[in-house]
C-alpha cells in the first residue's frame, strides 16, 4: 500500500513540474516574441512561428492535464 502511495505522489509531482515547465516556456516564448517584434522582423514570420509553437505548447499542456486528471481519478 505504501509503494502505491509513493508512486502516486511521484506521478503527481511529475505532472505538477511539467505544468510549471510548460507555463515557464510559454512566458519565455512570449518574451522572445515581443523582442522579435521590437527588432522589426517580418510580421508574417513571427505570426507563423507563434502559431506553430503555441499549438505545440497547447498539445503538450492538454496531454499533461489528461495525465494529471487520470492520476486524480484513480
Predicted pLDDT of residue 43: 67
Predicted pLDDT of residue 24: 80
Predicted pLDDT of residue 20: 81
Domain segments of the chain: what residues?
Answer: 2-73
Low-confidence ranges of the chain (pLDDT < 70): 1, 41-45, 74
SS3 1: coil
Alpha-carbon span 14 to 26, nearest angstrom: 18
Tell me the three cell numbers of residue 17.
513540474
Instruction: Express as a percent the part of the chain with pLDDT over 70.
Output: 89
Alpha-carbon span 37 to 31, nearest angstrom: 10
| Stated pTM of the model | 0.55
Amino acid at each position: 500500500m505504501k509503494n502505491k502511495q509513493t508512486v502516486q505522489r511521484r506521478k503527481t509531482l511529475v505532472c505538477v513540474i511539467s505544468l510549471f515547465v510548460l507555463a515557464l516556456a510559454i512566458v519565455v516564448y512570449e518574451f522572445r516574441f515581443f523582442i522579435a517584434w521590437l527588432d522589426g522582423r517580418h510580421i508574417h514570420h513571427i505570426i507563423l512561428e507563434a502559431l506553430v509553437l503555441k499549438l505545440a505548447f497547447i498539445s503538450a499542456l492538454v496531454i499533461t492535464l489528461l495525465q494529471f486528471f487520470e492520476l486524480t481519478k484513480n
